[in-house]
Amino acid sequence: MPRRFRPACFDPVLAQRLQAVSGPEPIAALNRVKERECGEPLVDIRKHCPGVRVSRKCLPYLRETVAKKLQQAQDALPPGYRLHVTTALRTKEAQRMLFDKYFAELTEKHPEWSYGTRRRQTCRFFAPYDQPAPPGHCTGAAVDVHLLLPSGRTAELRKPLTGWKSARSLATGLSEKAVRNREILFTAMLAAGFSNCAEEFWHFSWGDAGWAVRVGERVCVYGWVSLPQ
């Protein structure tokens, strides 16, 4: 008979630390954060984070302090493990395209839904570009990361869950391997000072409005930023 699957549990101390910096992020709360843009430049993480792998389709730019923290997280990993960045900087145009495309898909799929319902559902997956608080990726403060094993293969972080069912950072029903790999990732990123989006285990940031809301700050230091020439 096949072995019965038993979901694993997260280390309670780590889970408590993670929950302290990954609270809910309602748009109203994000918009209340005061922005004091510090003018810090973007840097190429392919040069500033030598141990980190960067996806080819990724715009490889983050604010300088955020890039330093990313390298700190890389240095905190066990020997042989690497961070894999899938998304760093995102232009406002790209954010608009993603948001509007998904909104249009919902409109076609659910014409009976009100405008407000479609917009709320879209905001669950894509930060709006028409609010005072800019999306984290558009400030150069947010980064989406996964974990690579010493073998170079992508670490298991989802099984047996799939899709958005596996997205929550402390999702229940994960395998022992997925939980332990997430713990390695979370431990390194938290040690570097990042906060985590509770709804997306791969999304971390420092210095943007999302970070401020999660950690209880009233001021953020990064706003909209343009792609370097």
User: Could you tell me if residue 37 is inside a domain?
Assistant: yes
- What separation in angstroms does the CA of 152 have from each of 47, 53, 72, 147, 188? 20, 10, 20, 9, 18
What residue ranges of the chain have pLDDT lower than 70? 1-6
- Among residues 35, 14, 59, which one has the least CA distance to residue 189? 14
User: Could you tell me if residue 5 is inside a domain?
Assistant: no
User: Could you tell me if residue 112 is inside a domain?
Assistant: yes
User: Could you tell me if residue 225 is inside a domain?
Assistant: no
pLDDT of residue 1: 36
What is the CATH classification number for the domain harbouring 136? 3.30.1380.10
Report the number of distinct structural domains present in the chain: 1
Q: Using CA atoms, how far apart are residues 134 and 15, in angstroms rounded to an integer?
A: 28
Residue carrying structure tokens 């909209």:
224
pLDDT of residue 150: 97
User: Could you tell me if residue 1 is inside a domain?
Assistant: no
User: Could you tell me if residue 228 is inside a domain?
Assistant: no
pTM exceeds cut of 0.75? yes
User: Could you tell me if residue 153 is inside a domain?
Assistant: yes
- Identify the helix (H) or strand (E) that includes residue 204: strand 203-205
DSSP string, 39-80: -PPEEEHHHH-TT-EE-TTSB-EEEHHHHHHHHHHHHHSPTT
Q: Using CA atoms, how far apart are residues 213 and 111, in angstroms rounded to an integer?
A: 33
User: Could you tell me if residue 170 is inside a domain?
Assistant: yes
The domain in which residue 200 lies consists of: 12-220
Q: Using CA atoms, how far apart are residues 70 and 156, in angstroms rounded to an integer?
A: 21
Is the distance from CB of 212 to CB of 218 less than 8 angstroms? yes
DSSP tally for the chain: helices H, then strands E:
8, 9
Q: Using CA atoms, how far apart are residues 214 and 29, in angstroms rounded to an integer?
A: 10
Mean pLDDT of the chain: 95
pLDDT of residue 188: 98
